[in-house]
Amino acid sequence: MPILPIDGGRYGTKEMREIFDEEKKIQYQLEIEATTAESQAEISMIPKNAAQNIARMARSGKVTSKRIKALEAKSDHDTAALVEALSELCKPTAKPWVHYGLTSNDLVDTSNSMQIRDAFKIIEPKVARLAIILAKLAMKFKDTPAVGRTHGQHASIIAFGLKFANWASEMSNHVERIEECKKRVLVCKTLGVVGTGSLMGSKALEVQKRTAKKLSLYPAEVTTQIIAREKYAEYVFCIALIGATLEKIAVEIRNLQRTEIGEVAEPFKKGQMGSSAVPVKRNPTKSERVTSLSKILRSQINISFENIPLWHERDLSNSANERFTIPTSSILLDEMLEAMTKIISDLYVNKERMRKNLEITKGQIFAEFVLDALIKKGVPRLSAYRDIQRVAFAASDKGLEFLDAVKKDAAIASHFNIKEIEKIFVPENRLGASSMIITRVYTKVKKTCSKFT
């Protein structure tokens, strides 16, 4: 009976969950046994016939979790139980060479790398796909004026597409981060008890190099009994950082979907219920789910950093929690990417509401541009600032349109004709370099992400 939502399949795709399935973990570790034996035989470290038998039995599917658990009940050691279960199936001439020169964490750490390798194969294309969707939306709305808010207040005018461009750029950066960290994180270790390759001697590095290549990993440069936990910390941090960007998007969508703003809304399918009590509600539940899961994701960072300092060549204070941190981080990010991609792909954008929101301050959102126009007419900045502030506050108190108040104020209006003043108050004229910025981001995202989609 499932205990956690992850176990019950509530979060994450089947494809991602299978990577961290118990049976799959066994297959990864058996593949390490098979590949290491083959690599050892290639350089005449162990007999070729023995390696062939070990590899065949390791890949036969006959080493079962049931048998491993039965052996573990006696030995109280999961990896030793796996090695014993494999050895039972091998020929007498091959038995001495099973797990030769290896230690438990050669299997544990290298299988972790294999899991991360395959998790990246799922995560990276999804990150890239979301970046491209966001970039296309940026282009779609690059000429759409909207309220730009700072401190929750109307500040100035932006192109609505600039929001998507910001998000697309960061998702594209995450693709680059994944690519850059692979060589540090996807590490194969076959150097034995304390990282010296003690039993394999001078050939130890060659065995590791060959094994790593076969497993599509990178050979470890140096290890203790385990690979340095900085590598896992980097992986979890990378995952959590992607999650934080997804949460940033989710928080903005939640805010913009508020009744008082109403500029966007999550997709709402037929038959969906927003509230069990209020029939008319359309709640941003998927974005809220992303926000919620991101909190768990970030919590894994601290645990991963705590695992870096261990006693001497290693202890077990990291072992139990890593059974949670790596799978949990990977599966939850997969869920968040799936959710956010669905949200963004079918996001409802209300351009009419954007136009109305631009009018909420009765034109005072154009104050920045009135100030700029006065400065360009030769008015000292502070003097212009004070005049605009005086007129704006008075207009606000009386409920007047800022444009009308500007036209009637001699200190400001004397510097312009009517057409010049009215031109200042056209939203489409106030998008600055938005179009150029968005186009540049779109080009970069396509270059970085297209090969993954």
Active site residues: 151, 275
Nearest by Cα to 143 from 126, 130, 156, 157: 157
Closest by CA position to 238, among listed 308, 121, 333: 333
Q: At what angle do helices 48-58 and 22-42 cross, to 10 degrees?
A: 170
Q: How many helices (H) and strands (E) does the chain have?
A: 18, 6
Q: Which is nearest to 230 in space by CA: 287, 172, 314, 306?
A: 306
- From its phi and psi, is residue 63 left (phi > 0), alpha (psi between -120 and 50) or beta? beta
Q: Within 13 Å, how many C-alpha atoms sit on residue 208's CB side? A: 28
For residue 191, the SS3 value is coil
For residue 156, the surrounding DSSP H or E stretch is: strand 153-159
Angle among Cα 178, 180, 183 to the nearest 5 degrees reads: 105
List the one residue out of 79, 73, 78 whose CA is nearest residue 33.
Answer: 79
Those residues with Cβ within 8 angstroms of residue 55's Cβ, 6 or more apart along the chain or in another chain:
34, 35, 37, 38
Hey, what are 202's tokens? Answer: 């001078």
Query: Terminal CA-to-CA distance of the chain, rounded, Å?
Result: 37
Say if CB 277 and CB 298 are below 8 A apart.
Answer: no
| Three-state DSSP class for residue 236 | helix
Could you tell me if 225 and 194 are in contact, meaning their C-beta atoms sit under 8 angstroms apart? yes
What is the distance between the alpha carbons of residues 302 and 321, in angstroms, rounded to a whole number? 11
- Angle 359-362-366 (CA atoms, 0-180°, nearest 5)? 85
Q: Fill in the DSSP letter of residue 416.
A: S
d(CA 104, CA 192): 8
Question: Which candidate, 349, 356, 367, places its Cα nearest to that of 147?
Answer: 356
